[in-house]
Each structure stands twice: as structure tokens, then as C-alpha cells.
Chains A and B, each alone.
Chain A
Amino acid sequence: APAAPPPAPLGCDDPESEAAAEFAVNYINGHSRHGYKFALNRIDNIRVVPQGLNDDIMYLELDLLETTCHILSPTPLENCTVRSFTQHAVEGDCDVKLQKLNGKLSVLASKCHSHADSSEDVLRVCPDCPLLASLNNTEVLATVSAALNDHNSRTADPYLRLLEIGRARMQYHPVHSVSVEFAVAATNCSAAEAKENAGACQLLPEDQSNFGFCTASRLIHPSEDLSVNCQLYGHQVPPHQLPPLPEHSTGQDTS
């Protein structure tokens, strides 16, 4: 009897591929501690290598796009807006190896690299759009520092410390401005106590942690102006034990 024809290769838009991709994206977001949540934009390729009965290894090549939700935000991914092209989008390229054993998926390995869209592409569509700036640019650092000090000086909430700068954009025309986004965490000080001795203010322990996110815009020319908006998420139980956040890390790659 002729051998059974080999199963047709999985298509990238097949339900089984999409389920595997969704599982992989949730894993990537769940195991990252820096930057923003990423959403699936395209399944570039999928390869299935049968290992035995109901046992397959799946190799996925995924094209992701950065969302506006910081990785510490409790907002569900489906409610996170994908950063638009004119906001200077950031793409993530991920290779993920999964195992599907008796219908249950697990991630064996993942490697991602993120990179911003080219400035030329953005300016071609939007000549006056602000462009991403380096996170250690002096004007960026000065804006983050001024914004955090401004918030801490005005609030009755706990004194906030910087966790990491998420992104920064600069514009030179028609005005010179800097806009920044950064992650913060509540400390064990009130703002008033911090005025006495900010150095003594420590981040709250993991079981009481309270993370938040700030956005700020600073007009530098033709006049100085600063607007700051910080939101604390409230205490969240971490989904699983993750490595502690370094004090001022701004790592961009997950691997």
C-alpha cells in the first residue's frame, strides 16, 4: 500500500501556528524585565520537526512590534496599543523553539533582538516627527531627572525612584523639545521624609513593590517648559520569580 503522504507543512496563518506564536509572545513578555511589551505583527516562518507520537519541536520566526505598555505594566497585552509608525516604531525579531507534547506547548529557547525603524523612514512619512534619542543623551538624562524631581516635589504619594528610562525622543524643528518615558518604583519614604534624606529611601521589598510609569515633555526652545505625568500601578504579585531589576539598567534585548 502506498505510504501515507507526509502531512502538509504548517502555514504561518494556520490556527496551530497562531496558537504557538501567541504562546511564544506571552512567554517573551513574561520573561523580560526591560523596555516594553511586544505584540505579534507577523509569523515569518514556522518549521515543525516531529519527534515521535504527539511530540513535535516547532521553530518559529516572529516579527513583533513594540507597544506603549511598559513591561511592568499590569495592562493585558491585548489592551496595549502598538506604537505607531510616526511614534518611531521599534521592531522585535524573535526566534523561538517550542515543544508540543500531547498538545501542550512549552518554550525550550528564545532569542530576540529589537531595533528601531530607520529615521529616514519616519521622516519620509512625517518630516517634523520627533526621533528616538539615545537613552544616555545628556538632555534626555537632564529631562528625566528634572521630571522625577518635579513629581517628587509636588506629590503627597511615596517618594519615587527611577528604575529605567524606557524611551526618549527629540525634536529640533519647529521647536526644540525632549519627550521621555521612564519606569519608577515607590520607596519606603514619603516625599516629605525624602526632603530630609533621600539617600535613606529604599525601594520597597518585592512583596510590597509598587511600580509605576512616568511620561514627561520638556520644551527647551523657544522657551523652557516641563510637563510630567506619573502613574503608580499599585502592588502586583509577580507572575513568577524573575531576576531582580538592576537599579538603572536600560537593556533592550531579551535573550
Chain B
Amino acid sequence: PVAKRAVAEAAQHDKVPRPVGFVPPPPPCPGKIRHFDI
């Protein structure tokens, strides 16, 4: 019988180890501020 692994456990195992110093890309929006924000 196939036993369904607990999600947390599966997530733990499936989580791809991130390299040290990994910086997630900035969100695509909103974009940069060209002058100042009011």
C-alpha cells in the first residue's frame, strides 16, 4: 500500500536547499521609483 507522507514531511524533504547568500529576485511590480514617493 502507498502511504501518503505528511505534507510537512514531504515539503521538508522536497524543499530545495538554497545556496548560501541566495537573494530572491525582486517582485516584478511595482517598479522602481524615479523621483520620490508621495
Binding site for B on A (CB under 8 A): 9-14, 17, 39-46, 63, 65, 82, 85, 89, 91, 117, 121
Contact = CB atoms under 8 A, between A and B. Distances in A.
Interface of B: 28-38
A41 B37 CA distance: 8
Nearest to A122: B38
A11 B29 contact: yes
Contacts of A14: 28
10 contacts: A12-B29, A12-B30, A14-B28, A39-B34, A41-B35, A42-B37, A44-B30, A65-B38, A89-B38, A121-B38
B30 to A, nearest CB: 5
Contact of B32 (A13, A45, A91): A13
A94 to B, nearest CB: 14
Nearest to A14: B28
The 8 closest A-B pairs by CB, nearest first: A12-B31, A11-B28, A12-B29, A43-B31, A117-B38, A13-B31, A44-B30, A45-B29
Contact of A45 (B30, B34, B37): B30
A144 to B, nearest CB: 26
Given A9-B28, A11-B31, 15 more contacts: A10-B28, A12-B29, A13-B31, A13-B32, A17-B31, A39-B34, A39-B35, A41-B37, A42-B32, A42-B34, A44-B31, A45-B29, A63-B30, A85-B36, A117-B38
A82 B35 contact: yes
Contacts of B32: 12-13, 42
